[in-house]
Amino acid sequence: MSTFIASLSLILIGLAMFYPVFFLLIDRKVQNSKHARPFLQLNYVLHLLAGSTAVLLFWITGVNYPLQLSGIVYLIVLIVVVLFYWKSPLPKWSLFNASLVFGFIVFYRSFNEIVEITPLWPGIFTGLLSASTISIATLIMVSSFNKLISESVISDFIRPLFRLLFLLIGIRIAWDLVVLFNISVETRNGELMSALRFFWQVDSIKLILLFLFSLIAPVLLNYILNTRLNVSDTKYRFLIVMIMFTSILFGEFLYKYFLLQYGIVL
C-alpha cells in the first residue's frame, strides 16, 4: 500500500468513526429550522461516503483480510443505522453509539495493521486528535455552505465548534513540540539527535510545510473566522473555511507521511 493510499485510508476511517459524535448536536441545534432534516441527511451521506471509501480502499489494496472483513461489518452497521434514522429524530441514546463502537474497532485495527508501531497508543491518541479535527473542520465547512437554515442558527451552531477546533489544534501543537524536542532518533551512523534535527536534515521541506499547514495556517484562519464570524458576506466566510479545511487536510497527510515513513508519531 502506498503512503498516500495508507494515509487516505487512515484519515477517512477516522472521519467516519468520529463524525456521528455530532449528529445528536446537529439534530438538537437545527431541529426547529424548516430544512433541518435535509441538513442532517447531508451529514449522514458524508459519514457513509467516508466509511465506504475507507473500506473500499482496504479491499482494493488487500491490506489485511481480517481488517477487510471487519470493514464490511462496519459498513453494514453504518448503512442500517443511517437508514433507520433517515427520517426519524435522534433519541438521546441512538444506534449511532453502536456505529461509534464498531468504527473505533476498525479504526484501532487500521492503525495496528497499517502503521505497525510499538507502542501503539501514541498513534491511537494522535489518530483520535486527527479524526476529531477533520470531523469538526468538515462540519464547519458543510454548515458554512448551507443556505437552507437561517444564518443566526448556523452562526450559533458553529461558534462552539471553532472553540473546540482551536483547543484540539493547541493540544496537537503541544504534542508536536514535546515529540520534536524530547524524542531522540538514531541515525545510520549511530548518532543520536532530536526528532526536530533529524527531520530538518532528512525532510526539511515537508517539515516546513507541516508547520505551515498544520499549525500556523489553522491558528491564523481560526482567529480570522472567530473575529469575523458574524460577517454578512457568507461567501467570504465559506472561502476562509474552505482554505482552513484544505490546510488541515493537507497537514494530516503530512502527519501520516512522517508516521508511515519514519514511525514517529507527530
Q: Residue 184 carries which DSSP code?
A: E
**pLDDT value of position 11:** 94
Which of 75-84, 95-104, 219-228 is predicted least confidently? 219-228
**pLDDT value of position 217:** 85
Give the H/E segment covering residue 186.
Answer: strand 184-186
Which of 116-125, 126-135, 151-160, 183-192 is predicted least confidently? 151-160
Higher-pLDDT residue of 249, 230: 249
Q: Is residue 192 classed as helix, strand or coil in its secondary structure?
A: strand
pTM: 0.90
pLDDT, tens only, 42-69: 899 999 999 999 999 999 888 788 888 9
Buried b (16+ CB within 10 A) or exposed e, 133-166: bbbbbbbbbbbbebeebeeebbbebbeebbeebb
Q: Is residue 193 classed as helix, strand or coil in its secondary structure?
A: strand
pLDDT, tens only, 90-111: 777 788 888 889 999 999 999 8
Q: Which candidate, 99, 39, 112, places its Cα nearest to that of 73? A: 99
Higher-pLDDT residue of 174, 194: 174
Higher-pLDDT residue of 119, 30: 119
Q: Is residue 185 classed as helix, strand or coil in its secondary structure?
A: strand
**pLDDT value of position 67:** 87
**pLDDT exceeds cutoff 90 at 190:** no
Most confident of 29-38, 52-61, 216-225: 52-61
